[in-house]
Amino acid sequence: MPEVRAVGGRINIAAVNSKGKVIPTTDDLDVSSFTTMGNVTINQRSKVFMSDSTSSSESSEINNTGEIFIRGNQILIDHSYIYANVYHYASPGKINLSGHYISIQNHSRIEGYTSGVGNGATINLEAKDNDIYFDNNSDIYGYTTGSGNGATITLTEGNNKRILHGGVIIP
């Protein structure tokens, strides 16, 4: 099972099909210099995981859960997982997907969880020209088992959201 994991850092994924520069900024991943973006596929039970520690039982000196930025033309999450979890007192993580088309399918999950006093992740999905699809029991899940607040979830799409065959959004 392929996995990309970082503790309190930043994961940037960008697929491009033209010349330009990918510029990480404080709050974003700037790909505006590209005329053509490529496609991003995360599949085969892959995990992209960001947290304030490696486990809920491990103490953490990290004050930031971290950020995940994914940029592309078409973004496909197929039977895979993207997490930004707060186990202790860290500031919430950020998951930000931006493309022209986003599909989350086949039991995939995007999750912003907290079990401590910290708040859950900020989850933003932006499909600039088309829809955001959730299919076959896929979900965005933001919740808490601690005293913090669950995730903040924002979906921005060209036309509408389509939740098909058991897809769920739980803020």
Pairwise pLDDT comparison (132 vs 79), residue with the higher score: 79
Residue 143 and residue 135 in contact, taking contact as beta carbons nearer than 8 Å: no
CA atoms 146, 54, 1, 154: torsion sign: positive
**Separation of alpha carbons 153 and 137, rounded Å:** 18
The whole domain housing 97 covers: 3-170
**Separation of alpha carbons 95 and 30, rounded Å:** 15
Q: Supply the pLDDT for residue 63.
A: 63
The tally of domains found in the chain comes to 1
Q: Is 57 helix (H, G, I), strand (E, B) or coil?
A: coil
Residue 115 and residue 146 in contact, taking contact as beta carbons nearer than 8 Å: yes
Q: pLDDT for 146-171, tens place per residue?
A: 777 778 888 887 666 665 556 666 65
Q: Supply the pLDDT for residue 160.
A: 60
Q: What residues does 133 pair with on adjacent strands?
A: 103, 162
Q: pLDDT for 69-128, tens place per residue?
A: 999 999 999 999 999 887 766 677 899 999 999 999 999 999 988 877 777 888 999 988
**Separation of alpha carbons 1 and 121, rounded Å:** 24
With 0-12 / 13-18 / 19 or more C-beta atoms within 10 angstroms meaning exposed / middle / buried, residue 74 is: middle
